[in-house]
C-alpha cells in the first residue's frame, strides 16, 4: 500500500495537471536534504509536490528542452527559497550525461515522458490535430526540422514507416500516398491541411470508434521530429549512472512505445549474471544495477481519470539503484 501523500493543487495560472502525483511522491519516498533531478520539468506540477515532500530543503535540478517552461521554473524557485534549484535547458539524455560527467549524483530521477498539456494547448505549436496551426511540433523551437519539413520532404516509404513504427497506424501506407499526392501540387504548412489529407485516406467506417483519425499520425510525427524514443533509451541509461545507491528512478509514459522502452530498460538493468546456466562459475561479472519496485505497471485510479481525462493512458514504473558498479561486459 502507498503511504499517504496529499494531492497537490496546481497553481491557478498553470495549464498542466500532473498525473499520478500521489503515486510518484510515495514511490520516490523523498526526505529533506535529498537531490532530485526532474528530467521533464514542464509547468512544475510534480516539482511542487516533491519539494513539499522534501520540506523545501535539498536540491532540485529541473531539465526541459522547451524554453517556454522557464517562467514556470522561476515561479517554482521563488516559491521555495530554501531549496537549491537549478534549471538546465536541453535534451534530458544529454543533460544527464553532462551532469554525471561533472560528478552530480541524485537520490531521485523523474522522467514524465511525452508531450505536456501546455504544449498541446498552445495552438501555434502545431501539436494538436484539433486546432489548425502551423505544422511545427518542435519541443525545442531551436531545432532544425519541423513536422512540415518531414511531411514535405520524406518519400512515401519513409513516411509510411514513421506512421507505422511511431504511431502504430493501420493505414500508414494509404495516408503516406495521400500526403505525397497532395504535396505535389501544394506543400503542407498547416495542421488542418494534414488532418484533411488523413481523413481522405482512411475508410469512412474506420474513422469512428478509435479516437480522432489523425491522432496516431500526429503522435508519430511528433516523436520523429523530437527523436523522443532515442532520448528515452539513452536517458534511462544515464539516469542509472547519476543515481546514488538506494536512489530511485520513476518513469511515467503515455503510450506503448515509451512504456516498452522503460519496461525493457529497467528489466535489463535488474538482471544480474548473463552467463550460460551450465557455467559453474560466473564469468561476466554482472550484478543487478536496480531492484524493480513496481513489478506491475502503476496506473491512475478512476477518480484521477475522471478529474483529468488526459491521465487515462499514463503508466508508472519505479526502480531502486543497487550498490553494484556498472560492468563493461
Statement to judge: residues 195 and 104 lie in one domain: no
Residue 4's pLDDT is what? 41
Q: What is the 3-state secondary structure (H, E, C) of the chain?
A: CCCCCCCCCCCCCCCCCCCCHHHHHHHHCCCCCCEEEECCCCCCHHHHHHHHHCCCCEEEEEEECCHHHHHHHHHHHHHCCCEEEEEEECCHHHHHHHHHHCCCCEEEEEEECCCCHHHHHCHHHCCCCCCCCECCCCCCCCCCCCHHHHHHHCCHHHHHHHHHHHHCCCCHHHHHHHHHHHHCCCCCCEHHHHHHHHHHHCCHHHHCCCCCCCHHHHHHHHHHHHCHHHHHHHHHHHHHHHEEEEEEEEEEECCHHHHHHHHHHHHHHHCCCCCCCCCCCCCCCCCCCEEECCCCCECCCHHHHHHCHHHCCCEEEEEEECCCCCCCC
pLDDT in tens, 83-118: 999 999 999 999 999 999 999 999 999 999 987 766
Does residue 167 belong to any structural domain of this protein? yes
Position 246 in a domain: yes
Quick one: average pLDDT of 205-219? Answer: 83
Tens-place pLDDT, residues 283-310: 777 789 999 999 999 999 999 999 988 8
Same domain, 43 and 183: no
Report if residue 13 sits inside a domain.
no
Domain limit, last residue, from 208, 226, 244:
226
Which of 188, 211, 226 terminates a domain? The answer is 226
* Residues 129 and 47 occupy one common structural domain: no
Q: Are residues 150 and 217 in the same domain?
A: yes
In the structure, what pLDDT confidence band is assigned to residue 325 with cuts at 50, 70 and 90? confident
pLDDT for residue 121: 66
Q: Domain of 220?
A: 123-226
pLDDT of residue 282: 74
Query: Are 234 and 215 part of one and the same domain?
Result: no
Domain count, the chain: 2
76 found inside a domain: yes
Quick check: is 26 in a domain? yes
CATH classification of the domain holding 192: 1.10.150.170
Among candidate residues 178, 198, 226, the one where a domain is terminated? 226
Name the pLDDT band for 13 (thresholds 50, 70, 90).
very low
Domain co-membership, 112 together with 236 = yes
Say yes or no: 300 and 154 in one domain.
no
The verdict on 315 and 169 lying in the same domain is no
Q: Are residues 196 and 241 in the same domain?
A: no
Q: What is the pLDDT of residues 16-43, one digit of tens each?
A: 678 999 999 999 999 999 999 999 999 9
| Same domain, residue pair 127 and 108 | no
Q: Are residues 188 and 253 in the same domain?
A: no
Amino acid at each position: 500500500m502507498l503511504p499517504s501523500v496529499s494531492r497537490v493543487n496546481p497553481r491557478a495560472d498553470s495549464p498542466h495537471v500532473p498525473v499520478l502525483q500521489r503515486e510518484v511522491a510515495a514511490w520516490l519516498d523523498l526526505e529533506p536534504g535529498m537531490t532530485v533531478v526532474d528530467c521533464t520539468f514542464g509547468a512544475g506540477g510534480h516539482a511542487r509536490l516533491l519539494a513539499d515532500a522534501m520540506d523545501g530543503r535539498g536540491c532540485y535540478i529541473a531539465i526541459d528542452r522547451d524554453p517556454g517552461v522557464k517562467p514556470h521554473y522561476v515561479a517554482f524557485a521563488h516559491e521555495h527559497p530554501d531549496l537549491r534549484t537549478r534549471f538546465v535547458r536541453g535534451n534530458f539524455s544529454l543533460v544527464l550525461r553532462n551532469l554525471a560527467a561533472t560528478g552530480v549524483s541524485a537520490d531521485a530521477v523523474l522522467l514524465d515522458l511525452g508531450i505536456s498539456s501546455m504544449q498541446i494547448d498552445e495552438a501555434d505549436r502545431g501539436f494538436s490535430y484539433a486546432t489548425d496551426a502551423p505544422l511545427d511540433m518542435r519541443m525545442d523551437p531551436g531545432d532544425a526540422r519541423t513536422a512540415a519539413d518531414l511531411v514535405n520532404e520524406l518519400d512515401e516509404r519513409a513516411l509510411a514507416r514513421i506512421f507505422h513504427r511511431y504511431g502504430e497506424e493501420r493505414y500508414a501506407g494509404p495516408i503516406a500516398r495521400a500526403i505525397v499526392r497532395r504535396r505535389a501540387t501544394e506543400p503542407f504548412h498547416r495542421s488542418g491541411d494534414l488532418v484533411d489529407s488523413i481523413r481522405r485516406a482512411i475508410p469512412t467506417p474506420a474513422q469512428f470508434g478509435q479516437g480522432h483519425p489523425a491522432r496516431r499520425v500526429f503522435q508519430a510525427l511528433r516523436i520523429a521530429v523530437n527523436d523522443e524514443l532515442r532520448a528515452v533509451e539513452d536517458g534511462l541509461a544515464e539516469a542509472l549512472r547519476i543515481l546514488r545507491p538506494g536512489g530511485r528512478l520513476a518513469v511515467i509514459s503515455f503510450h506503448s512505445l515509451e512504456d516498452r522502452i522503460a519496461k525493457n530498460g529497467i528489466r535489463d538493468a535488474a538482471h544480474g549474471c548473463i552467463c550460460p546456466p551450465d557455467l559453474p562459475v560466473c564469468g561476466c561479472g554482472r550484478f543487478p544495477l536496480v531492484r524493480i519496485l513496481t513489478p506491475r505497471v502503476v496506473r491512475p485510479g478512476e477518480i484521477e481519470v475522471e478529474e483529468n481525462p488526459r491521465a487515462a493512458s499514463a503508466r508508472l514504473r519505479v526502480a531502486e539503484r543497487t550498490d553494484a558498479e556498472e560492468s563493461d561486459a
